Chain A
């Protein structure tokens, strides 16, 4: 049986992971489909229809500006998912580079990079990220117009959360690099004059792809949580772009009048993050070469 068929069979046996994948795909695709089917969009304000109860034209009712809650949830989900995945990929890239550099160079470079990794893991990251998210980009020479644009805001939140998500990948890749470096075929390659870069790319990377994929999936879940926290605190994705975090921030103020508004976005974050965690667990089982070869 070839590798992919075995991977697929093992993955499909992990029912929670399959369910997680289905939830994620639905979450990613639902917004335009449901919007087209119901003829609604996420930004239509109706000040005469504020806090409408569920039912009628709005399946989950309307919020404090009369906007359809379901549509805002679905579009907010697209934003949160995209931000989380982009940040996880960015973090994987940082982590892989750091890990490869540390693991193939060794010596002082390795010590410096790994002590830095330890420090990032140990530090109280949320207070530091809050400061970073509040930094005035115009003071760094970014023109005022583009510093305040929606794209800049999204790029900023992606970079800010990517800065904390890379440590696990860095450690995994470094460990992989160290264990590969002593193998005979790598020594042979080095003896034949292969450069460090070539050894890293041809021999180390393929060996660490599986754990990196798993770690990145799990990191995406954590980073979505982090994004929601920052958006909730008013320092992440800024309204009117909907995200689950900033929807909750509005809902907190109206909690006595409309508690349901505070329940839905949180339930969506919860469902997405647990789906990613199950998916990561399933991938781990399916990709782990040490698991029984059945």
Chain B
């Protein structure tokens, strides 16, 4: 188990290290480096000054060297400042991360509970009329553009009916009940994005589980239909479901970027998008690294949960490397 876990952590660490270089290199290719921005702010700077400034900040070094310089500084705890907010990036980032996690956790829990329920109902009578209806809804769900769904929700519930706010997060000091109204539409958008895919998974996992021998045994021993479904089948169906959903954290994060941008929710996704469009490249760099790190940690936790849930899983390293 320990060897398996160490291998798994090492693998995630390698991915994070590679990604940190890729992200650093991509950010270096953004239009306009810090010196360009200084020139734009101060027209008196001559081209010679720009070259001198580039040398001063080490911007003329090869990419590998620049990366190592940056990595050394970053690992010593200095992640730099945000150009937009004139504050340390971490100070901006951490509250945003909390906002995103709030959105993600609520949406994921909601999507999983609805999907499991719908999946069970569909699996009880495969190819029945209810199954067909759920299947059609799933096709619709995986085909709808998430940002358009957000627009339609805004048109219906905010513009036309006026029941819910079109965006924002509410006053910081307002009571929780008032601020919850701002959560409804973003959570609905984000939930819808994953609900259809999860429901299909839950349905096929349940059908597969209900087909097993032990289900027949349980029925033969007189277990009622509710007990068979809730106890015998669901427990086994949950296994593949939990892993796939947890490995889907990256997709969920991508969905959060769209949702946050549409509803003005001050999370990580919106921060990344805004900072790239606003030439705030240091913030974009750090936020992207954090997003990648959070997703990788979630994936490792998912693997551990899976291994812990399923006694049949082997922890031998060669198995893990398969």
* A46 in contact (CB, < 8 A): no
Interface size class of A (residues with CB under 8 A): 35 or more
Q: Whole-angstrom distance between the alpha carbons of A216 and B23 in the complex?
A: 28
Q: Are A263 and B152 in contact (CB under 8 A)?
A: yes
- Nearest CB in chain B to that of A269: its residue: B145
Q: Are B257 and A126 in contact (CB under 8 A)?
A: yes
Residues of chain A contacted by B154 (CB below 8 angstroms): 255
A212-241 CB contacts (< 8 Å) to partner B: 221, 225, 228-229, 232-234
Residues of chain B contacted by A229 (CB below 8 angstroms): 145-147, 258
* B186 in contact (CB, < 8 A): no
Q: Are A221 and B143 in contact (CB under 8 A)?
A: yes
B258-309 CB contacts (< 8 Å) to partner A: 258, 261, 269, 272-273, 276-277, 284, 287-288, 291-292, 295-296, 299
Q: Whole-angstrom distance between the alpha carbons of A141 and B32 in the complex?
A: 15
Which stretch in A85-93, A116-124, A285-293 binds the other chain?
Answer: A116-124
* A60 in contact (CB, < 8 A): no
A115-171 CB contacts (< 8 Å) to partner B: 115, 119, 121-128, 130-132, 134-136, 139-140
* A266 in contact (CB, < 8 A): yes
Give A230 Cβ to nearest chain B Cβ, in Å: 10
Q: Whole-angstrom distance between the alpha carbons of A281 and B253 in the complex?
A: 27
Q: Whole-angstrom distance between the alpha carbons of A136 and B247 in the complex?
A: 32
* A12 in contact (CB, < 8 A): no
Most chain-B Cβ atoms within 10 A of its Cβ — which of A122, A221, A228?
A122
- Nearest CB in chain B to that of A16: its residue: B139
Chain B interface helix/strand/loop/mixed = helix
Known: A111-B321, A232-B147. A256 touches B159 (CB 8 A): yes
Residues of chain A contacted by B299 (CB below 8 angstroms): 122
Q: Are A127 and B145 in contact (CB under 8 A)?
A: no
* A73 in contact (CB, < 8 A): no
Known: A111-B321, A229-B258. A124 touches B250 (CB 8 A): yes
Q: Whole-angstrom distance between the alpha carbons of A259 and B160 in the complex?
A: 10
Taking a contact as CB atoms closer than 8 A, the residue among B30, B269, B295, B321 that contacts A135 in the complex is B30
Q: Are B144 and A270 in contact (CB under 8 A)?
A: yes
Residues of chain A contacted by B77 (CB below 8 angstroms): none
Give B11 Cβ to nearest chain A Cβ, in Å: 6
Q: Whole-angstrom distance between the alpha carbons of A228 and B269 in the complex?
A: 17
* A273 in contact (CB, < 8 A): yes
Q: Are B276 and A266 in contact (CB under 8 A)?
A: no
Query: Which residues of A are at the interface with B, using a C-beta cutoff of 8 A?
Result: 16, 111, 115, 119, 121-128, 130-132, 134-136, 139-140, 221, 225, 228-229, 232-234, 248, 251-252, 255-256, 259, 262-263, 265-266, 269-270, 273-274, 277-278, 281
The contact sample of 6 A-B pairs, CB cut-off 8 A, is: A122-B299, A124-B254, A126-B257, A127-B288, A263-B152, A269-B148
Query: Which residues of B are at the interface with A, using a C-beta cutoff of 8 A?
Result: 11, 15, 18-19, 23, 26-32, 139-140, 142-149, 151-152, 154-155, 159, 247, 249-251, 253-255, 257-258, 261, 269, 272-273, 276-277, 284, 287-288, 291-292, 295-296, 299, 321
The 3 closest A-B pairs by CB, nearest first: A266-B148, A126-B254, A274-B143
